Structure 1
Amino acid sequence: MRYASAFVDSAIESQKSDAIEKDLQEFAMMIAGSEDLKTFIKSPLISRLDQQEAITALSKKAKFQDITANFLALLAQNRRLSMIDSIIAAVTKDLAARRGEVAARVQTAFKLSPDQEKALQDALTKAVGKTVSVHLDVDESLIGGMVVTVGSQMIDDSIKRKLERLKIAMTSNANNNAPAKNVANEN
């Protein structure tokens, strides 16, 4: 993604990559926590200037780095704020790759404690052989266990998935054990 790559280059050049990554994560949390903000940045009815001014004010209030504020204003000016989720993901992935890290997405049925998060990160780092940046999501529908995605690999060790597999196994066994119909004796 062109915007993300250029932004990462600028962030690294200015030696503020950690700060801008933090700014973008905070901006993502603001969007996730506000339906009004989500609607505002995705609406084609809001003028470029209004979006740009609002984003500049928001960036100032949040005390974002100048480079982050300018980047978000540029996205508003070019009508790209609607793509902010994928842009933030691309920036995060690019920064992690440049640090020699691999990003992992972990879904759990409940919020992990800081000790559990650290143990999980250590275990994933050991398994992958690189530093792993873990992004945690809570999905209560998993019931228990977790789903780990690293790159294109996914490990689903959730109770939900185990129950689905058990249901499939029981259904197929029930179908296989049903008495066979004797077609020869029907006439």
Structure 2
Amino acid sequence: MSLVGRKYSQALLEVAKEKGKTDEIYNQFKSIIEALDSNEKMWEILMLPSIEADEKKTIFENLFKGKIDGYLYSFLMISVDKNRVADLKNIFESFKDLYFVENNMVEATVVSAVALEEKDIKRLKEKLEKKYKKTVIIQSRIDQDIIGGLIVYVGDQIIDGSIRRKIAMIKNDLKEIRLQELGVN
């Protein structure tokens, strides 16, 4: 988490809490980042040093004025004035971290070889919430290279129940057996 991201996100969270709008501002800020991420050209334009602050403000005004909370809109305008548009993603990530701590939440990324059914996601969510004693927000991703099973990332922890890992473990065990037979180990 960058120092700039932390500083700006803390300020935004304080205002959001003060006004009783933390959920609303979090969801709107997330939508803004997702909208900008879905339009790569927009990010490129906003990052150009040749684009004046007034022009960047006009872009934000056209995209978001009247559609998002006034405090969040003002925050975007301040980020333009302070030349922090390039830091918006980092600021959002810091804000999300603080928001999750504030609301006793954690994000889990679940990687599977095939799409999981809703009942399986629900069951996994319940187990993770019991283990971490937090509300778990699950993001799913498909990676056919894991062959089968699941890999779950929660914070800096990894729960690897993939077939690929199990095959690697068996392969390693077989190497160990061979070495033992030769008296090397």
| TM interval, short-chain normalised | 0.7 to 0.9
- Pick aligned residue for 2:152 from 148, 156, 162: 148
Partner of 1:131: 135
Contact 1:110–1:139, Cα closer than 8 Å, also in 2: yes
TM-score of the superposed pair, with normalisation by structure 1 = 0.77
**What is the root-mean-square deviation in Å for CA atoms of aligned residues?**
2.9
TM-aligned CA deviation for residue 169 of structure 1: 5.2
Say which is worse superposed, 12-21 or 143-152, in terms of deviation. 143-152
SS in 2 for 1:79: coil
Residue type of the alignment partner of 1:34 = N
Q: Aligned partners of 1:35 and 1:140: how far apart in 2?
A: 27
**Deviation per CA, 1:95-116, whole angstroms, max 9, x where unpaired?**
1111122333333344444433
Shift of 1:133: 2.8
CA distance in 1, matches of 2:154, 2:27: 21
Structure 1 stretch displaced more, 77-86 or 161-170: 161-170
Offset of residue 125 of structure 1: 0.2
Structure 1 residue 175: Cα displacement? 7.7
In the TM superposition, what is the alpha-carbon distance from 1:76 to its structure 2 partner?
A: 2.4
Contact in 2 for aligned 1:100/1:131 (Cα 8 Å) = yes
Identity of aligned residues (%): 25
Structure 1: unaligned runs, 5 residues or longer = 180-187
Q: Which one of the candidate residues 82, 101, 113 is aligned to 2:86?
A: 82
Residue of structure 1 aligned with 2:120, choices 100, 116, 119: 116
CA gap 1:37/1:128 in 2 versus in 1, 3 angstroms? same
Moved more, 99-108 or 64-73: 99-108
Asked if the contact 1:96–1:133 (Cα under 8 Å) also holds between the matched residues in 2, the reply is no
Kindly indicate whether the alpha-carbon contact (under 8 Å) linking 1:102 and 1:132 is maintained by their aligned counterparts in 2. yes
Whole-angstrom CA distance in 2 between matches of 1:139 and 1:30: 25
- 1:96: which partner in 2? 100
Say which is worse superposed, 38-47 or 120-129, in terms of deviation: 38-47
- For residue 38 of structure 1, the aligned residue among 30, 40, 43 is 43
Cα offsets for 1:70-107 (capped at 9, x unmatched): 22222222222222222212111111111122333333
Task: State the partner residue of 1:183.
Answer: none
1:163, 1:14 → 2: CA distance? Answer: 53
Per mean C-alpha deviation after superposition, the further-off stretch among 81-90 and 131-140 is: 131-140
TM-score (norm 2): 0.77
SS at match of 1:46: coil
* Residue 24 in structure 1 maps to residue 34 in structure 2: no
Shift of 1:165: 4.2
**Higher relative contact order (CA closer than 8 Å, sequence separation 6+):** 2
Letter in 1 for 2:92: I
Aligned residue pairs total: 178
Taking a change above 3 Å as real, the CA distance of residues 136 and 90 of structure 1, as seen in their structure-2 partners, is: farther
